[in-house]
Amino acid sequence: MSEIIAKAVDVEVLYGNHAALDKINMQVKKGDIYALVGKNGAGKTTLLRLFTGQNAPDYGHIEMFGETGRQALNKARHRTGAIIETPAFYPFFSAVQNLEYYRIQRNIKDKSIIERILKDTGLYEARNKKFKNYSLGMKQRLGIALALMHEPEFLILDEPINGLDPAGIVEMRKLMLKLNREKGLTIIISSHILSELANMATCYGFIDHGVILKELTASELEDIEKSYIKLSTNNDEAVAAAIAENINASAYYSMDDRCIMIPDIDISPSEKISRFVVKSGYDLYSLEIVKTTLEDYFIQLLGGASIE
C-alpha cells in the first residue's frame, strides 16, 4: 500500500453557523498530483489551510506523513512547501535577490539552493530580471521556487493557474510534471477550472459546499471523457445482445435510457454498427455519438451549476 502523505478525517471547519468544510474525508498518496476542483467558495482554500496549519479543524483531524498531534504535525509541516496566498516579493529586486532575501530570513544555509530552484522552475535565464517585469506565469513560478527553498516532499498550491494565459498554463503543467516525476514531489493543487488540471493530475477530488462529492483517478476520469454510441432500434434488447456477441462485448441495453449503449467506439465505429443492425434485419431509429467533456462532467456533478 502506498504511503499516505496527507489525510483529512471527518474534518469540519465552521464559520459561525456556516460549515466551510462538512465532514471531509480525503487523502493524498505519495507520488500523487491531487487536483482539488470546486467553484469559488467551495472550501478549497479552507481545506488546504488545514494542511499548512493556517487553520485548525473544529471537528475531526488531519494527518501528515502519518503524524497527528499538534507538535508532530508542525514537524511534519517542515517537509511541506505551500503557496496559499501570493508571496510578497520586492518589485525592484530580481528573482535572485528576492530568493536570497528569503533564504537569509529563513536561515537556510545552502546558498546553492537558489540556483537549483531557479533552474527547476525554468527561471534561471530570467534570474536577474526585476520582479516587476516578470509575467504573471513567471511570478507564480517564483512563488513555487520560494515554496521549494527548503526542499519539501509535499507541495500545496492554491489556484496557481488562476489568471494565467494558455502559454502560462502549459508552463505550469510542465513544471508540475517535472517536480512530480523528476523530483518525486507529491502535490495537491486546487482550481475552479477542471480542464486546467487535465493531463497533469493523477487523481481528482471534487468539492462543493464544503463536501467532497467524488474522488476519481485520472484513468477513471479519462473513461468518463470517452465517446460512446447511443442507438435505438425496433428491438433494443435483441440488437444489444447481437452487437455484444458479434462486434463489441461491452454493448448493453440501458433500461434507464431506453436505448442501446456502446462504450469504446474505437473498436466499433458507427458505420459498422449501423450496417450490422440493418443487415441483421432490424430497423435503426437513431444513432448518436455522445462525447462527455470534463467540464460537462464537472457541471453535471455539481448539479448543473455554472463553474464561475
SS3 177: helix
Cβ neighbours, 10 Å, residue 168: 19
Judged by CB under 6 A, how many residues of this single chain contact ligand ADP?
10
What span, in angstroms and rounded, lies between the C-alpha atoms of 190 and 188? 7
Q: Which of 15, 90, 92, 285 binds ligand ADP (CB under 6 A)?
A: 15
Total residue length of the chain: 308
Judged by CB, which is closer to ligand ADP: 43, or 160?
A: 43
Pairing of strands 211-217, 259-263: unpaired
8 DSSP 8-state letter: E
Segment near ligand ADP (CB under 6 A), from 39-47, 60-68, 115-123, 287-295?
39-47
Residue 54 engages ligand ADP in binding (rule: CB under 6 A): no
Q: Which of 5, 24, 46, 180 binds ligand ADP (CB under 6 A)?
A: 46
What span, in angstroms and rounded, lies between the C-alpha atoms of 157 and 191? 9
What span, in angstroms and rounded, lies between the C-alpha atoms of 28 and 205? 10
Segment near ligand ADP (CB under 6 A), from 42-50, 109-117, 168-176, 284-292?
42-50
Judged by CB, which is closer to ligand ADP: 237, or 295?
A: 295
Instruction: Tell me the per-residue interface mask from 260 to 289 with ligand ADP, x by CB under 6 A, - otherwise.
Output: ------------------------------
Among residues 216, 218, 214, 210, which one has the least CA distance to residue 44? 210
Residue 163 engages ligand ADP in binding (rule: CB under 6 A): no
Enumerate binding residues for ligand ADP (CB under 6 A).
15, 20, 38, 40-46
